[in-house]
Amino acid sequence: MVFHRKHILGLEELTAEEIVVILDTAASMKEVSERDVKKVPALKGLTVVNLFFEPSTRTRSSFEIAEKRLSADVLNFTPDQSSVVKGETLLDTARNLEAMGAGIIVIRHSMSGAPWLLARELKSSIINAGDGSHEHPSQALLDLFTIKEIRGDIGGLRVVIVGDIRHSRVARSDIWGFLKLGAEVRVVGPPTLIPREIEDMDVKVYYKLDEALKDADVVIMLRIQKERQESMFFPSLREYSKLHGLSHEKLRQANDKVIVMHPGPINRGVELSSEVADDVNSVILDQVSNGIAVRMAMLYLVASGGRKV
Amino acid sequence: MDSETIAQTVSRITDEIISTNRDSGELVVVGIRTRGIYLAQRLAEQLKNITGIKPPLGTLDISLYRDDLQIKREWPELKKTDIPFTIDRKTVILVDDVIFTGRTSRAAIEAIMDFGRPSSIQLAVLVDRGHRELPIQADYIGKKIDTNKNEKVRVLLNETDGKDEVLINQE
């Protein structure tokens, strides 16, 4: 099957088949990063703008490497050095970038829905690199890719997402992705960090980590987002770590071959102990290298989908 | 062409490859997706039968090197490329089922060059149907077939199609 989308905005709107096309394409892309000369000419002549309104090291660098490996021309647009501080609106900024010839705009914004606004108003292809606490499709796709690579299939796996479900766009995209590919999804965290509407998403809600971990195949630890917490949702980091942090002790509840993931950056000793982070079960660094292949696939596919007139 | 002629043709091409490369260094065989892969496998097998050495065998998907990505409405589905050996200072035998405009071969040559610096690249095809759009020729040709530009040449192989046959259809 061929991919017909011009934009990749969120996992909620993708079908299971489209997700599989992205993952299969990423599997083929991975080989490019294993070569001595890590570059192919596929997107030669296409300008890609990374429009990041929020700080990001990993995601922006990963997109930039992916773009360069596909030979796109890359422009990094960061608002602190730009007219945004002079009061230009998001849409005007984006229209200016489009007028400069941007074929694809990769956007991260603190406002949920910002990528959809651009997709509606512009002719460029839009890739969502994280919008507010809504979706983070490239992270969820690389999580799915990493697990599929190890386990072969996502269907039937028991996936536990731990921590700040309320503020996490990774959690939301992961939940959609894993459910669509047939996994069982459990969420666990302090009650204050689990939004009520999560129950409408066909996930199992837990408040005790060791119960949620029983026979788990995959554990996704979310980062405690200190910057997104206007008020404290739990008494102290120490208490959080004690109740919801992952240790070897607690991990014994899970399946022997359990895979431990974290979208980064890790707060060592808070979400998970240093031993767990560096353990053989941890695939945190595989996630980072797979992220490049997945983002190459996303860019390649929207560039092709966007060509349809 | 039927299955017997195809088998004879693969044998003949194998002999030609051996006699051309008597003094060349090590051979490697790379098949271009999709049907070039199976022809490459057959060639590699024949080379082993005659020389006693099985050449390293690779698979190439040229999607990322096409020259029509900017104009094509539907992009090809990207499949895996797998060349798990060095091609530096080797003689690379590129294998495809049909040579037509020469554009696939051009893309394949460019892709191979990204993997290293072979001492030479030689092209083997089962069918040369003419109508080249680039100055590219095959070194080993199974059969030259005069075709109309709007005719379609289909190579069927046991591995993908359940039988060996070459067909020419009107579009």
Q: In chain A, list all ranges with CATH 3.40.50.1370.
A: 16-135+289-305, 137-287
pLDDT of residue B76: 76
Q: Do A307 and B79 touch (CB under 8 A)?
A: no
Cα three-residue angle A302-A40-A5, rounded to 5 degrees: 5
Q: Chain B within 8 Å of A34 (Cβ-Cβ)? A: no
Are β-strands B151-156 and B165-170 bridged in parallel, bridged antiparallel, or unpaired?
A: antiparallel
- Tens-place pLDDT, residues B56-88: 999 999 999 988 776 766 677 899 999 999 999
- Count Cβ–Cβ pairs < 8 Å, chain A vs chain B: 54
**Average pLDDT in the A237-255 region?**
90
Q: Do A309 and B110 touch (CB under 8 A)?
A: no
Domains identified in chain B and CATH numbers = 3-68+76-170 (3.40.50.2020)
What ipTM does the predicted assembly reach? 0.88
Q: For residue B165, what are the CA distances in angstroms to A224, A266, B9, B39?
A: 62, 58, 12, 13
With a cut of 70, say whether residue B94 has pLDDT above it.
yes
- For B89, the token pair is 């200072």
Residues of B in contact with A300 (CB under 8 A): 64, 75, 78
CATH number of the domain at A16-135+289-305, out of 3.40.50.1370, 3.30.70.2190, 3.40.50.12780, 3.30.930.10? 3.40.50.1370
Per CATH, which fold does A137-287 belong to? Rossmann fold (3.40.50)
With a cut of 90, say whether residue A55 has pLDDT above it.
no
Q: Chain B within 8 Å of A45 (Cβ-Cβ)? A: yes
- Tens-place pLDDT, residues A3-43: 889 999 999 999 999 999 999 999 999 999 999 999 999 99
pLDDT of residue A99: 94
Residue of B nearest to A45 (CA): B70
Q: Which candidate, A7, A5, A228, places its Cα nearest to that of A117?
A: A7
CA B92 to chain centre: 11
Which of A31, A149, A308 to probe the B interface (max B CBs under 10 A)? A31
With a cut of 60, say whether residue A93 has pLDDT above it.
yes
With a cut of 70, say whether residue A81 has pLDDT above it.
no
Cβ-count burial A295-304 (b if 16+ within 10 Å, e if not): bbbbbbbbbb
Note the helical H segments in A156-283. 169-180, 209-212, 237-244, 248-251, 274-277
Angle, helices A137-151 vs A169-180, to 10°: value is 50
Beta bridge partner(s), residue B143:
B127
Q: Chain B within 8 Å of A22 (Cβ-Cβ)? A: no
- Tens-place pLDDT, residues B106-160: 999 999 999 999 999 999 999 999 999 999 999 999 999 999 998 999 999 999 9
Is the CA virtual torsion B138, B142, B148, B152 positive or negative?
negative
Cβ atoms within 10 Å, residue A22: 23
**Residue with the larger pLDDT of the pair B57 and A56:** B57
- For A70, the token pair is 């596909």
Among candidates B69, B78, B110 on the partner chain, residue whose Cβ is nearest the Cβ of A28: B78
- Under the banding of pLDDT at 50, 70 and 90, the label for residue A308 is very low
Q: Chain B within 8 Å of A20 (Cβ-Cβ)? A: no
